[in-house]
């Protein structure tokens, strides 16, 4: 897990129109090997740092939010630079606007956030080797078993926001019937 001394970290898009700062360490860093992430990223996996949205400060520019499909069927909102189109972070329906999944590769120093876990390894490319000692699971994992206590406490603090967002989705779905 990354240390507290690594923060804040800055990042942005290729054309430098969008600049952001992660004020604190993320909750957790996923290296996702699912086929959906492979297709969406055009790479062998997606490396995302989960962090509370209010801990990401927009320093320059305004991203464009693009709604795209997701494997869950509930979609995701991807924040992209309106100029160079680079994806900076996503918000998934499971956590809504409370948590950003920051694309680690958009950080100025991406090597400072190695993965805490490799997920959906049942569909990873066979030539991708997972380092010894790094947790990996065929699909998903039990958060209580892998997240550090401070990340679990931070998640607990934003859980009311997440639950309110999920409830609003249920109300929207009900009102559309």
Joined tokens for residue 30:
């996923």
pLDDT of 147 above 90: yes
Q: What is the pLDDT of residues 27-48, one digit of tens each?
A: 999 999 999 888 888 899 999 9
**Mean pLDDT over all residues of the chain?**
90
pLDDT of 17 above 50: yes
Spans of all domains in the chain: 4-175
Q: Is 50:30 a contact under the CB 8 Å cutoff? A: yes
Over residues 80-109, mean pLDDT: 94
pLDDT of 173 above 60: no
Which residues does 7 contact at the CB level (< 8 Å), separation at least 6? Answer: 22, 23, 24, 25
Q: Is 49:20 a contact under the CB 8 Å cutoff? A: no
pLDDT score, position 32: 94
Superfamily of domain 4-175: glutathione-dependent formaldehyde- activating enzyme (gfa) (3.90.1590.10)
Percent of the chain with pLDDT over 90: 76
pLDDT score, position 6: 79
Lowest-confidence pick of 33-42, 50-59, 125-134, 136-145 = 33-42
Identify the bridge partners of residue 67 per DSSP, sorted by sequence position. Answer: 77
pLDDT score, position 138: 96
DSSP notation for 8-66: SEEEE-TTSS-EEEE-S--SEEEEE--HHHHHHHTSS-EEEEEEEGGGEEEEES-PEEE
* Residue given tokens 């958009």 in the structure block: 106
> Sorting pLDDT into bands at 50, 70 and 90, what band is 177?
very low
**pTM assigned to the model:** 0.89
């Amino acid at each position: 897990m990354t240390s507290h001394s690594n923060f804040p970290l800055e990042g942005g898009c290729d054309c430098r129109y969008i600049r952001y700062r992660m004020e604190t360490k993320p909750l957790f860093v996923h290296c996702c090997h699912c086929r959906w992430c492979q297709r969406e990223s055009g790479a062998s996996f997606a490396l995302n740092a989960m962090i509370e949205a209010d801990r990401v400060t927009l320093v320059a520019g305004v991203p464009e939010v693009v709604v795209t499909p997701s494997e869950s069927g509930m979609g995701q909102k991807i924040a992209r630079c309106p100029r160079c189109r680079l994806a900076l972070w996503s918000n998934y329906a499971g956590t809504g606007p409370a948590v950003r999944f920051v694309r680690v590769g958009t950080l100025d120093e991406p090597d400072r956030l190695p993965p805490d876990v490799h997920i959906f390894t049942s569909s990873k490319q066979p030539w991708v080797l997972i380092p010894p000692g790094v947790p990996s699971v065929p699909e998903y994992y039990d958060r209580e078993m892998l997240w550090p206590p401070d990340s679990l406490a931070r998640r607990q603090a934003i859980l009311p926001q997440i639950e309110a967002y999920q409830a609003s989705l249920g109300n929207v779905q009900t009102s559309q019937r």
